[in-house]
């Protein structure tokens, strides 16, 4: 077998080493990026699902409260009231919120006495679930198709009309039953909520959002899934109260990155157990990773070809003086002692080799001269080897330093990514997930040292009025201003986070009721005294605060949050712009000066 030339060996070695390094780099970067992208997108999808569930619960709470308030008005509780007066009240309520498809009042026998646009008046609805369910207590019915109203209401969607029912019993001032006040809320409202949640998502077309009943029946989503009952791991976890994400295969055979969250009601509204699911095809989610890997492989292939060419040229230069030496040595072996070995100055190794061979030939004629020449050659080679080792050691030192720098940059990037994952984008505060993580650590500390702990929940009064009057841009500025003021006034050891929407939460460490109340009052005054610029001039906002504290170490923050939320509700109910402390028997409100600014809610 004919041996390959040194030139070919060197060129091939350069190309193979470069290709292997490129493949390894692409594989490592691809796997690392895939895991990171999966986590980031998964958390984003889970957050979108939670926002959708939260908005649906809050919207249903508003309707639930509207109907309950309407049932307490005199015109509804007066047995002798004119149906026209009741109809005027119901139509005014419908005008304030157009998603009410129908509102009606039925007497104790189930006959509709007054309704919006006089639809179904005189019709017997005593067997309808919304009427039966509200005879004794407020009732909320899940999504269903229209029955009696299907042919009476306009429908330009091309799909069956679907409603959510809200109804309450109506009694006289003396407590005698007068009938049932019920409303059908158009399910298209949920689609509007979906648009509001997804409007901030850049690639909203790649994300699909579904709303399912607690049994897994698809209430809103792609047409091919609507009405089906799904059996997915994500739904099973959501039914257990988990708010997270996972990768799973759907009935269409495709694999999706799926975020999920189950609704749990809001305040007095008990909730229907709706499950919100957001999904994005894995292929679409990981497109940036695939593109990066392709670019790495492409550049690596080009680099390998370049190194092969460079190696071929360098190998030629290396081999050329060796060929000249081998030719002269062959002539000497054949007996031509007068042949002169060429002295090649190209590089040290070949020069040493040619000098050594010349010295070896001369030693045949003069043994003493050969010994001296050999000693000089050996000394020179030792020096050159020492210099080469020194240079190699310096290069290794530089490489180690460079690797340490890369590792430091990687740690900085990881910290930045962690900060982005734990920070609310609008206010710069901790987000809900980061808050609960820090709160869990703080609860463990209070258990170890037997310390008190307090929670403050507060939100901006009449925030919807601010958005409606000045626009969402000013609304966002109000939230940022409130966050900045509270962050500057809160204690350094306390944990402040955006809880959701216009609501914030503060974990007050090592604090009893009095300390937490004092902190909350300082924040309330700071918010009230802050002016927020707008096109119409400076505006102000107020906030209501609910405080709950415990002197006994706890392992679950949920009861304390519920107590603080109840105190917040009491602050809202008793006039807003105040601090209410939850007590074992009742709630005590800290008096605050009346506030009638545009921002009050």
Contact criterion met (CB below 8 Å) for 288 and 37: yes
Closest CA to 240 of 272, 271, 266, 264: 264
Residue given tokens 């009732």 in the structure block = 139
Give residue for tokens 């909730």. 271
The CA distance from 554 to 170, in Å, is: 42
In this prediction, residue 524 has a pLDDT band, given cuts at 50, 70 and 90, of: very high
In a domain, 421, yes or no: no
- The reported pLDDT for the residue numbered 197 is 85
In a domain, 340, yes or no: no
Q: Are residues 163 and 273 in the same domain?
A: yes
Contact status, residue 476 vs residue 426, Cβ threshold 8 Å: yes
Asked whether 260 and 277 are in contact (CB, 8 A), the reply is yes
Pair 37, 104 in one domain:
yes
- Residues 20-52 have pLDDT tens digits of 877 787 678 767 777 787 788 888 889 989 998
Q: Phi and psi for 125 in degrees, rounded to 5?
A: -115, 20
As a residue count, the chain comes to: 601
228 and 204 assigned to the same domain? yes
Confidence check: pLDDT of 161 > 80? yes
For the chain, the first-to-last Cα distance in angstroms comes to: 93
The three-class DSSP label of residue 539 is: strand
In a domain, 547, yes or no: yes
Decide if 160 contacts 108 (C-beta within 8 A). Answer: no
d(CA 65, CA 546): 21
Which pLDDT score, from 0 to 100, does residue 598 have? Answer: 31
Sheet hosting strand 495-500, strand order edge to edge: 495-500, 503-509, 453-460, 543-550, 579-582, 587-590
Q: How many angstroms separate the CA atoms of 40 and 101, rounded?
A: 40
| Other beta carbons within 10 Å of 207 | 22
Is 480 in the same domain as 575? yes
Segment 149-174 shows an average pLDDT of 86
- Residue range 110-130: average pLDDT? 93
Is 146 among the domain residues?
yes
- Are 84 and 201 contained in the same domain? yes
Answer yes or no: is pLDDT of 263 > 80: yes
Whether 504 and 576 map to the same domain: the answer is yes
Q: What is the 3-state secondary structure (H, E, C) of 34-46?
A: HHHHHHHHHHHHH
């918010």: which residue's tokens? Answer: 527
Residues of the domain holding 483: 432-590
Contacts of residues 104-113 at CB distance under 8 Å and 24 or more positions apart, as own/partner, are: 104/181, 104/182, 104/183, 105/76, 105/170, 105/179, 105/180, 105/181, 105/182, 106/131, 106/179, 106/180, 106/182, 107/178, 107/179, 108/177, 108/178, 108/179, 113/83, 113/86, 113/179
- Measured from the Cβ of residue 584, the count of other Cβ atoms closer than 10 Å reads 5
Name the percent of the chain lying above pLDDT 90. Answer: 45
In a domain, 312, yes or no: no
Cβ distance 454 to 548 under 8 Å? yes
Q: Alpha helices, DSSP H only, in 225-286?
A: 233-239, 282-285
Short-list 153, 284, 162, 152, CA closest to 226: 162
Q: Report which secondary-structure segment, H or E, holds 445.
A: helix 432-449
According to the model, what pLDDT value does residue 453 have? 94
Q: What is the pLDDT of residue 535?
A: 85
Return the axis-axis angle of helices 472-489 and 463-470, rounded to nearest 10°. 130
- Both structure tokens of 557: 């923050």
Q: What is the mean pLDDT of residues 124-148?
A: 91
Q: Please check whether residue 332 is in contact with residue 360, taking contact to mean a CB–CB distance below 8 angstroms.
A: no
More confident residue, 399 or 348: 399
> 20 with 74, same domain?
yes
Least confident of 141-150, 482-491, 563-572: 141-150
- Count of domains for the chain: 3
Closest CA to 554 of 587, 490, 507: 507
**pLDDT at residue 366 greater than cutoff 80:** no
Question: Is pLDDT above 50 for 540?
Answer: yes
Q: What backbone phi and psi angles, to 5 degrees, belong to 531?
A: -95, 135
Residues 140 and 262 in one domain: yes
Q: What CATH number has the domain bearing residue 194?
A: 3.30.450.20
- Whether residues 409 and 443 fall in one domain: no
Residue 298 forms part of a structural domain: no
The side-by-side arrangement of strands in the sheet containing 112-115 is: 112-115, 100-106, 177-186, 162-171, 139-145
pLDDT at 593 over 70: no
Q: 349 pLDDT exceeds 90?
A: no
Min mean pLDDT across 42-46, 223-227, 349-353, 465-469 is at 349-353
Q: Which of 265, 285, 305 is the last residue of a domain?
A: 285
pLDDT at 276: 94
Rounded to an integer, what distance in angstroms lies between the CA atom of residue 234 and that of residue 225?
Answer: 16
**pLDDT tens column, 172-195:** 999 899 999 999 998 888 888 888
Same domain as 446, residue 406: no
377 and 457 share one domain:
no
Mean pLDDT on 246-272 = 90
Q: What is the pLDDT of residue 182?
A: 95
Q: What is the pLDDT of residue 10?
A: 66
- 412 and 470 both lie in a single domain: no
Judged against a pLDDT cut of 90, whether residue 486 lies above it is answered with: yes
Q: Is residue 320 part of a domain?
A: no
Query: Nearest CA to 206 among 288, 141, 130?
Result: 288
Q: Which residue has the higher pLDDT, 326 or 119?
A: 119
**pLDDT tens digit string along 7-22?**
677 667 766 887 787 7
> Predicted confidence band at 596 (pLDDT cuts at 50, 70, 90)?
very low
Q: What is the pLDDT of residue 601?
A: 41
Last residue in a domain, options 227, 252, 285: 285
Q: Report strand pairing: 503-509 vs 495-500.
A: antiparallel
* 49-85: b (≥16 Cβ within 10 Å) or e: bbbbbbbbbbbbbebbebbeebbeeeebbeeebeeee
Neighbours of 499 (CB within 10 A): 20
Question: For residue 136, with 0-12 CB atoms within 10 Å meaning exposed, 13-18 middle and 19 or more buried, which class applies?
Answer: exposed
The reply to whether 351 falls in a domain is no
Question: pLDDT band at 202, cuts 50/70/90?
Answer: low
Between CA 224 and CA 289 the distance in angstroms is 30
pLDDT exceeds 70 at position 594: no
Q: What is the pLDDT of residues 411-440, one digit of tens each?
A: 776 676 666 678 999 999 999 999 999 999
Q: What is the pLDDT of residue 123?
A: 93
Instruction: Report the distance separating Cα 141 and Cα 600, nearest Å.
Output: 34
498, burial (CB in 10 Å: exposed 0-12, middle 13-18, buried 19+) = buried
User: SS3 for 503?
Assistant: strand
Last residue of a domain, one of 232, 264, 285: 285
Distance of CA 459 to the CA centre of its chain: 22
Specify the pLDDT at position 225. 87
Say how far apart CA 523 and CA 481 lie, in whole Å: 12
Which CATH number belongs to the domain containing residue 475 in this structure? 3.30.70.270
């Amino acid at each position: 077998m004919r041996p390959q030339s040194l030139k070919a060996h060197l060129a091939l070695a350069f190309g193979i080493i470069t290709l292997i390094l490129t493949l390894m780099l692409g594989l490592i970067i691809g796997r690392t990026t895939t895991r990171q992208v999966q986590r980031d997108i998964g958390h984003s999808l889970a957050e979108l699902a939670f926002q959708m569930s939260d908005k649906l619960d809050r919207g249903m709470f508003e309707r639930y409260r509207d109907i309950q308030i309407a049932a307490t008005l005199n015109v509804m509780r007066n047995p002798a009231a004119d149906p026209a007066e009741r109809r005027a009240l119901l139509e005014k309520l419908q005008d304030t919120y157009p998603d009410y498809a129908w509102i009606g009042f039925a007497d104790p026998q189930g006959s509709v006495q007054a309704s919006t646009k006089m639809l179904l008046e005189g019709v017997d609805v005593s067997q309808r679930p919304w009427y039966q369910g509200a005879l004794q207590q407020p009732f909320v019915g899940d999504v269903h198709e229209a029955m009696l109203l299907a042919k009476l209401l306009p429908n330009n969607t091309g799909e069956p009309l679907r409603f959510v029912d809200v109804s309450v019993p109506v009694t006289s001032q003396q407590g005698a039953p007068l009938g049932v006040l019920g409303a059908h809320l158009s399910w298209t409202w949920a689609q509007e909520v979906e648009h509001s949640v997804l409007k901030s998502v850049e690639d909203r077309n790649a994300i699909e959002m579904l709303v399912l009943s607690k049994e897994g029946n698809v209430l809103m989503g792609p047409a091919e899934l609507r009405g089906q009952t799904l059996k997915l791991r994500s739904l099973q976890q959501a039914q257990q109260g988990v708010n997270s994400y996972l990768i799973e295969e759907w009935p269409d055979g495709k694999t999706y990155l799926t975020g999920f969250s189950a609704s749990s009601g809001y305040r007095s509204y008990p909730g229907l157990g709706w499950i919100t699911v957001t999904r994005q095809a894995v292929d679409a989610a990981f497109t940036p990773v695939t593109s990066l890997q392709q670019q790495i492989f492409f550049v690596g292939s080009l680099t390998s070809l370049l190194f092969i060419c460079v190696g071929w040229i360098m190998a030629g230069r290396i081999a050329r003086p060796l060929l000249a030496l081998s030719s002269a040595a062959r002539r000497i072996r054949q007996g031509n002692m007068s042949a002169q070995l060429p002295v090649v100055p190209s590089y040290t190794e070949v020069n040493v080799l040619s000098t050594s061979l010349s010295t070896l030939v001369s030693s045949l004629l003069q043994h003493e001269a050969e010994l001296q020449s050999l000693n000089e050659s050996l000394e020179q080679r030792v020096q050159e080897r020492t210099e080469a080792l020194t240079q190699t050691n310096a290069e290794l030192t530089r490489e180690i330093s460079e690797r340490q720098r890369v590792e430091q940059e990687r740690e900085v990037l990881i910290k930045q990514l962690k900060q982005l994952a734990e920070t609310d984008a609008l206010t710069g505060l901790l987000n809900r997930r980061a808050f609960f993580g820090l709160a869990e650590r703080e609860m463990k500390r209070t258990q170890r040292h037997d310390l008190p702990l307090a929670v403050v929940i507060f939100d901006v009064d009449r925030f919807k009025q601010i958005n409606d009057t000045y626009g969402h841009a000013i609304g966002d500025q109000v939230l940022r201003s409130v966050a900045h003021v509270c962050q500057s006034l809160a204690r350094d050891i306390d944990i402040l986070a955006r809880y959701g929407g216009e609501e914030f939460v503060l974990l007050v460490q090592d604090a009893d009721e009095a300390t937490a109340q004092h902190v909350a009052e300082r924040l309330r005054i700071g918010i009230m005294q802050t002016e927020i610029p707008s096109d119409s001039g400076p505006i102000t906002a107020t906030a209501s605060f609910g405080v709950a504290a415990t002197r006994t170490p706890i392992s679950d923050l949920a009861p304390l949050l519920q107590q603080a939320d109840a105190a917040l509700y009491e602050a809202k109910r008793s006039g807003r712009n105040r601090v209410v402390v939850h007590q074992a028997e009742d709630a005590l409100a800290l008096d605050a000066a009346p506030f009638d600014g545009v921002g009050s809610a």
